[in-house]
């Protein structure tokens, strides 16, 4: 049997009670970092009796067949990562897929999750959400990914390095709209836990001063309006028209409406153009 075990994302007291028993009873413990596993075992007052092997991004492909062979021979293999649930932006998916293909039972010891903890603390809609993992490091690839996510209506959850947080938040503000609501969750469950809420523009300015710790970013879905919910194209056009009638230039009106609705300027521009060519003349 393959057992995926959640580990604390900060406070060691959050470890699920079954984790100690699994560490003590597994035939093989595959750990993302064997040194961190040793420290976790000491904190829990347990020492693995089975064989301990490393299982991380660098050796995941090579070690998976070895672990599958052990499973096929009847071993109980426990997989743990540095924090949270295996497979969620951590090693594990490849091993799970290989075990399932061989008809080997896979189970889990549920535990802490940075994704769900940040989502719950964000103050943003939680009824529908998606997890986007880490954004690409290269600016061009990051822009492409964010452009694809710009119209996503579900709340989005990202992991990010503190060194790249300011650049990523600035890129989100450009792609999603400066006024899109978001929350940066830092050092969850640890001593210096912090949840910073605001617009993407505000959070980007804050992050520019430097941020430390483990980071999870939660971003509101496209078209979220605190009072009216999703903003459709006709409503965007109407808002532009109101601003134009008040004397605002179209370019500035489109930018302001996009920022307020939390959508890219291109979305508003396309809606205005479509309304004009559709003969409605709503903003023409």
Supply the pLDDT for residue 230.
Answer: 54
Nearest to 84 by CA among 7, 2, 190, 16: 7
State the pLDDT confidence band at 228, using cuts at 50, 70 and 90: very low
217 three-class SS: strand
C-alpha to C-alpha distance for 23 and 32, rounded to whole angstroms: 14
| Average pLDDT for the chain | 91
* Res. 123: pLDDT tops 80: yes
Structural contact between residues 139 and 171, judged by C-beta atoms closer than 8 angstroms: yes
Alpha-carbon radius of gyration of the chain: 23
State the pLDDT confidence band at 236, using cuts at 50, 70 and 90: confident
* Res. 97: pLDDT tops 80: yes
Nearest to 215 by CA among 5, 8, 3, 10: 10
* Res. 100: pLDDT tops 80: yes
DSSP structure class, residue 274: H
pLDDT (average), residues 120-130: 95
C-alpha to C-alpha distance for 110 and 127, rounded to whole angstroms: 21
State the pLDDT confidence band at 19, using cuts at 50, 70 and 90: very high
Q: Which helix (H) or strand (E) is 198 found in, with range?
A: strand 194-199
β-strand partners of 53:
30
152-173 confidence digits (pLDDT tens): 999 999 999 999 999 999 999 9
C-alpha to C-alpha distance for 53 and 142, rounded to whole angstroms: 34
pLDDT (average), residues 106-134: 95
């Amino acid at each position: 049997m393959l057992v995926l075990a959640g580990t604390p994302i900060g406070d060691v007291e959050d470890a699920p009670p079954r984790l100690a028993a699994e560490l003590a009873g597994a035939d093989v413990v595959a750990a993302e970092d064997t040194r961190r596993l040793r420290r976790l075992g000491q904190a829990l007052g347990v020492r693995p009796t089975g064989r301990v092997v490393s299982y991380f991004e660098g050796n995941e492909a090579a070690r998976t067949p070895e672990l599958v062979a052990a499973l096929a021979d009847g071993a109980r293999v426990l997989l743990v990562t540095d924090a949270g649930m295996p497979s969620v932006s951590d090693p594990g998916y490849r091993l799970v897929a290989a075990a399932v293909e061989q008809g080997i039972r896979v189970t889990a010891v549920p535990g802490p999750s940075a994704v769900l903890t940040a989502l719950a603390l964000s103050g943003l809609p939680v009824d529908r959400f998606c997890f986007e993992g880490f954004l690409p490091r290269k600016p061009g690839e990051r822009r492409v990914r964010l452009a694809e996510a710009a119209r996503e209506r579900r709340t989005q959850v990202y992991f990010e390095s503190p060194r790249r947080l300011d650049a990523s938040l600035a890129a989100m503000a450009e792609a999603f709209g400066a006024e899109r609501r978001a929350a940066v969750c830092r050092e969850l469950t640890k001593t210096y836990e912090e949840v910073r809420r605001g617009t993407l523009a505000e959070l980007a300015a804050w992050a520019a001063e430097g941020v430390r710790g483990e980071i999870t970013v939660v971003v509101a879905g496209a078209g979220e309006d605190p009072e009216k919910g999703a903003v459709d194209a006709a409503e965007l056009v109407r808002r532009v028209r109101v601003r134009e009638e008040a004397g605002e230039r179209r370019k500035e009106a489109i930018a302001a409406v996009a920022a307020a609705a939390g959508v890219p300027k291109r979305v508003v521009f396309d809606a205005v153009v479509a309304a004009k060519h559709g003969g409605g003349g709503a903003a023409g």
